[in-house]
Amino acid sequence: MSSIVKSGEFFTIYDDSNMYILEDKTKRNLTVIEHVMDEVYNIYTDKGIIYDGDGRGHKVNIRYYFNKDDYSIEHVYTIALRLDEFYRRLREETCPD
């Protein structure tokens, strides 16, 4: 069973024996359609589809699987904070007070 290591407004990091799993909270209820290699981090990710207002589907990452041999928790947390910051800026731009 995976245990939560760190959590933010838009992410959760789990410890799963030999890997850290970074989950995007904004996409956690999407159905996983594929488990593929991510070119940016050279890790496996679960992908789902989000449809825009025109009905076009866009593949998006739901979970990232970071091998502990290659990534420290600090590195994964830094990536998670970037994800958090992206969604904060997006919210400020699209939903100003």
Render pLDDT for 31-49 as a digit per residue (tens, 0 to 9): 999 999 998 899 999 999 9
- Give yes or no for residue 2 having a pLDDT over 90: no
Quote the pTM value.
0.89
How many structural domains does the chain have? 1
More confident residue, 65 or 28: 65
What's the pLDDT score for residue 1?
57
Q: Is residue 97 very low, low, confident or very high in pLDDT (cuts 50, 70, 90)?
A: low
- Cβ neighbours for 29, distance < 8 A, ≥ 6 positions apart: none
Q: How confident is the model at residue 62 (pLDDT cuts 50, 70, 90)?
A: very high
Query: With 80 as the cut, is the pLDDT of residue 78 above it?
Result: yes
**Which domain, by its residues, includes 18?**
3-94
Cα–Cα distance for residue pair 17/80, rounded to 1 Å: 19
